[in-house]
Structure 1
């Protein structure tokens, strides 16, 4: 059975995919980055990590395999256990496990499992079609200033000729210009005052006419417009932070009540295709809000949760 194929399918929708008895593959959203001198652009993506300490069966992988291969839930668990035993035996022999589109797991010199994620695939659905690309490094040329050599020549000085003409008539021209300038300034002042007076008179007449029309107006509407009732559409919250999934609806309701008592806006979601009833810590408008609560639960209370997207 190609177990890595089913794990890869679930990583598109869920933040945590647990392989019972082996470990969990976790995904975390990473923003777009630009790195390197050649400006390598990497789009937003999900970074995959592996935690060998999370081994409890949450039913997600087994239910997915049972539905995909049309087998029972119990048989799906048996097939998972068989594959897990093969993986563990390979790691004990210090062989490398290659999981297609997920990554590689091998044993280091201290006998610890090391996970190397694959860079060939992006599990963030919102980044579909965005590929990484590299822009060439911009090379700037240094311009050298070349010294220019100029021939130094002696300056040529022009001596003005002495004029013996009489320019006494210029003082009379200046007096005449001053006289006309003063006359024009006085005329402009009188003209501006007359325009301001006329404008004020027109504004007063317009204001009186407006007041007269307001006094004569009536404010009764014979046929008022009927009241329009608008239906308020509930805001969509497609991102659910799942606390657990239950086969019994009563157990799901108990879990929801317990989370509400703890201060969470918990809710019971609709039964999924595997016959399980998910219970969410809360539902959010954006993935960033859900990721924030998920990280807070993990850091402060060491609680594992996963994200369900409608």
Structure 2
């Protein structure tokens, strides 16, 4: 009995961790025959009451009507545990059975995603973990609390014209006349400098025009031009492909492609085979020898189901 309970907890925690990992990469993770965890990105916000700034994040919700198996969760588990898609689907189904069993008596913790519980109507209620942020763009950003800022008391400032009039009444008459004379001399000096600057600009313009005419009248002739060289470069064909899987649903093939690319493979979708299944390749090679070496490494470290296709 104790071994069965420990095994059930291991299944639950493992499935929860897989869901937790996928929510960093995708906006929706569906648990077949149970429900889907959906994210919605919200921008940064501020709480004016607590003076707290919150970074952008993914807001989590749960939709019990999203129960269709889109292959995302199963493909991820199959790749991580190095098992087949059918075995991964069975693994998820057993975890869902345990979830439904535990929900009758207690709540279920889904890693750092949140908790699930049943309400009085027997419906699944999701409580997200508010401390988790699945938006990778906000990695390293935390909540910031700032002290309140007090407003400065407004100060009445007199217009400049009023201040000038008050000061002018206090300046003696002979000082105002001396200031007016100084202004007149300054204007005359500025005017003379303006005339000199204009004459210098006209002289420079004439010189520039003369140089442009000489440049335009010059003729450049190359008697012995270099011969033209044509380079024919042919792209090396890559006809040997290491197949990662074949999918009836094109969406599942695209998910597999994104998964392989995230692991650093130059993955491609080869199209449909004669059975109507969309094939996805880890990588493609120009020679059969290269492809076989890569296949041995992939079968040993990634997937035993990988195989070589010559096309």
Shorter-chain-normalised TM-score: which range? Answer: 0.5 to 0.7
Name the CA distance, whole Å, in 1 between partners of 2:80 and 2:203. Answer: 86
Residue 94 of structure 1: CA displacement?
4.8
SS at match of 2:62: strand
SS at match of 2:41: strand
Contact 2:75 2:256 in 1 (8 A): no
CA, structure 1 residues 136+222, in 2 after alignment: closer, same or farther (shift >3 Å)?
same
Residue 125 of structure 1: CA displacement?
0.9
Q: 2:29 aligns with which of 8, 17, 27?
A: 17
Name the CA distance, whole Å, in 1 between partners of 2:195 and 2:218. Answer: 36
State which structure, 1 or 2, has the greater radius of gyration over its C-alpha atoms: 1
Contact 1:38 1:134 in 2 (8 A): yes
Name the CA distance, whole Å, in 2 between partners of 1:278 and 1:33. Answer: 45
Name the CA distance, whole Å, in 1 between partners of 2:133 and 2:87. Answer: 31
SS at match of 2:25: coil
Unaligned runs of 5+ in 1: 143-173, 227-245, 257-266, 280-310
Query: Residues 180-219 of structure 1: matches in 2 within 5 Å?
Result: 209-217=207-215, 218-219=217-218
Q: Does 1:54 align with 2:66?
A: yes
SS at match of 2:73: helix
Name the CA distance, whole Å, in 1 between partners of 2:194 and 2:150. Answer: 66
CA, structure 1 residues 196+110, in 2 after alignment: closer, same or farther (shift >3 Å)?
closer
Q: CA RMSD in A?
A: 4.5
User: What's 1:111 paired with?
Assistant: 122
Residue 202 of structure 1: CA displacement?
6.5
SS at match of 2:148: coil
Unaligned runs of 5+ in 2: 1-10, 154-173, 227-244, 262-266, 272-311
Query: Residues 160-239 of structure 1: matches in 2 within 5 Å?
Result: 209-217=207-215, 218-222=217-221
SS at match of 2:53: strand
- Structure with higher helix content: 2
How many residues are treated as equivalent by the alignment? 205
SS at match of 2:133: coil
TM-score, structure 2 length as denominator?
A: 0.52
TM-score, structure 1 length as denominator?
A: 0.53
SS at match of 1:80: helix
Name the CA distance, whole Å, in 2 between partners of 1:193 and 1:11. Answer: 73
User: What's 1:247 paired with?
Assistant: 246
Q: Does 1:66 align with 2:58?
A: no
Residue 22 of structure 1: CA displacement?
0.4
Residue 70 of structure 1: CA displacement?
2.2
